[in-house]
Structure 1
Amino acid sequence: MRKPLAAPLFALVIAGAGTAPAIAASGTTAAPAKKATVQAVDFAGTVSLSNCSGSVIRFPNSADNDPALVLSNGHCLETGFPSPGQVIVGQSSSRTFGLLNSSGSKVATLRASKVAYSTMTDTDVTIYQLTSTYAQIRNTYGINALTVADTHPVAGTSIKVVSGYWKRIYSCNIDGFVYRLKEGGWTWKDSVRYTSACNTIGGTSGSPVVDTTTGKVVAVNNTGNEDGATCTLNNPCEVDESGNVTVRQGINYAEEIYQIPACFGAGNKLDLSASGCTLPKP
């Protein structure tokens, strides 16, 4: 695992060719194939934590007057790593976050009212509820929340990993998915593996992984194999359905979040018993 910066504990941190015009059989030139629209991805809506990165997020059904949420990693929780199997819900928190604008400048300090949800089991997420609503943040600072995609990400997708801590953006693609990713005592399911260009470092933990076509958040950056060791801290290993273990030194990973929107209802209230909610329960 990588270390969240300025923290005493070990922690996780963690491109495309143009399309040539088609030529019709008759010899006439067909209209050029349409390219996917690429969304501008910048720092607006991302946040810096004391030792990690994060983002202000909303779900497809979130309302402007709902309390805003911040997404980061489970291992970035200020009270320490959740143990394997542990799920934290409704824990009091007054943690602060530096809200960034498009250029990466801090424009505000946001404050949490509680930890809505945190775990390092199956996934690696912490979701904070803020004292501000989406409308208050937008009207005061001109910053919109990032929308979480509610569908499974796709291999080959062009992505950007946006670190509010470092004010740095990494660009690469989704290389594929990992049946089980193991690191120390923790196991994550269906993790995202990056292509090698996303060489994320300590402090990028919790960064939103943004689909450059839709502009939506499809995962949260969390770890990478630093030394080539097998399944140890700082050195996650891939385990397939047959139990075969693969180590990819220098490759980094993220955890999917498409399953999270189903667990939040009206008012951005967590409901782990909601239909379609598959997040681990306390």
Structure 2
Amino acid sequence: MFRPLFAVAAAAALTLTGLSAAQAAPAPAAPAKVLAPGGDFTGIAALSNCSGSLVRFASSVSTDPGLILTNGHCYEGGMPQPGVVLVDRSSTRSFTLLRPNSNNAGTVRANRVLYSTMTKTDVTLYRLTETYAAIQSRLGIPALTLSQSAPAAGAGMAVVSGYWKRIYTCSVQATIPELREAGWVMKSSIKYRQPGCETIGGTSGSPIVSTSTGEVIGVNNTGNEDGARCTLNNPCEVDANGNITVQKGAAYGQQTWWFYTCLSASRTIDLNKAGCLLQKP
């Protein structure tokens, strides 16, 4: 995976609690509206070492706490080891939200890490101290909506980096059954069609935004830098028959629609829900 740009210390796991339940009859959380989907920095966040985004579920309401999406390997406690899933961990991490033109809009702060892992996918989902409505009122920043389905091959996409304030555009080349990197294994990884998305360190955690819908269809996380086989920063592809392929310069993202398979009616993350596809502790 692309190296976070500043080292952080290792940490241990906690137990799960979900997102806060919505209050009675609130307004829906307003999704981001942009002139060209994936064409500006609406909903984009800069972390101290990575990129991220302010996201909402399709069913989120304005009184729900805001959520920040980034990579598991961007977690401030260090990269979760293979097989490790962190849930309901306290956090005071701050994030800088950007305006559409990439200027800084202001800072938001987390109070919980709801879910973080580098197994099967590579995600960290933070819960913020403010609701979507409060963030919209104070900073004028709406959230991007997480797509409820995986991206198809050929779909137009943009990797929007808050850390570098840079947008990469290309399309989805393929879904890779398995990606191996050092001891980590990721499933159904999103491979980018090059040229256009030659992502670098610091772009980790950037949302992959559909250039058709403006929804988040994945999260950017890794690329093969040196042409090595299945080592750190040099992931290898494994097909359904177990054949291993290495492509120097290939870049990848991970699935985020799996959150919906674990989502309760009150928009909490329930890892015990039937059909939940997220890795469990």
Establish whether TM, by shorter chain, passes 0.5. Answer: yes
Partner of 2:227: 228
TM-score where L is the length of structure 1:
0.87
Determine the C-alpha separation between the residues in 2 that align with 1:61 and 1:168.
29
Determine the C-alpha separation between the residues in 2 that align with 1:59 and 1:105.
25
Partner of 1:131: 129
| Secondary structure at 2:86 match in 1 | strand
Deviations 1:143-178 (A, max 9, x none): 110000011211001100000000000000000010
Q: Check conservation: 2:38, 2:209, Cα contact below 8 A.
A: no
Determine the C-alpha separation between the residues in 2 that align with 1:136 and 1:216.
22
Partner of 1:113: 111
| 1:41 shift after superposition | 2.7
Q: Check conservation: 1:104, 1:167, Cα contact below 8 A.
A: yes
- Comparing 103-112 with 261-270, greater Cα deviation is found at 261-270
Deviations 1:231-269 (A, max 9, x none): 000100000111100001001000011111232335542
Determine the C-alpha separation between the residues in 2 that align with 1:229 and 1:74.
23
| Secondary structure at 1:88 match in 2 | strand
Which ranges of structure 1 fall in alignment gaps of 5 or more residues?
10-36
Residue 5 of structure 1 aligns with an amino acid whose one-letter code is: L
| Secondary structure at 1:228 match in 2 | coil
Determine the C-alpha separation between the residues in 1 that align with 2:147 and 2:39.
15
Pairing partner for 2:86 from 85, 88, 92: 88
Partner of 2:22: none
Pairing partner for 1:161 from 159, 162, 168: 159
Which ranges of structure 2 fall in alignment gaps of 5 or more residues?
10-34
Determine the C-alpha separation between the residues in 1 that align with 2:36 and 2:44.
19
Pairing partner for 2:169 from 133, 149, 171: 171
| Secondary structure at 1:75 match in 2 | helix
Determine the C-alpha separation between the residues in 2 that align with 1:39 and 1:110.
23
Q: Does 1:3 align with 2:13?
A: no
| 1:64 shift after superposition | 0.8
Determine the C-alpha separation between the residues in 2 that align with 1:271 and 1:278.
11
Partner of 1:98: 96
Partner of 2:209: 210
| Secondary structure at 1:221 match in 2 | strand
CA RMSD of aligned residues (A): 1.5
Residue 7 of structure 1 aligns with an amino acid whose one-letter code is: A
Determine the C-alpha separation between the residues in 2 that align with 1:105 and 1:226.
30
Partner of 1:13: none
Deviations 1:42-74 (A, max 9, x none): 111110000000001001111110011000000
Residue 103 of structure 2 aligns with an amino acid whose one-letter code is: S
Q: Check conservation: 1:38, 1:214, Cα contact below 8 A.
A: no
1:66-77 equivalent positions in 2, closer than 5 A: 66-77=64-75
| Secondary structure at 1:260 match in 2 | helix
Partner of 1:28: none
Partner of 1:198: 197
- Comparing 255-264 with 177-186, greater Cα deviation is found at 255-264
TM-score where L is the length of structure 2:
0.88
| 1:38 shift after superposition | 5.7
Partner of 2:269: 270
Partner of 1:259: 258
| Secondary structure at 1:43 match in 2 | coil
Q: Who wins on radius of gyration, i.e. which is larger?
A: 1
Determine the C-alpha separation between the residues in 2 that align with 1:39 and 1:270.
27
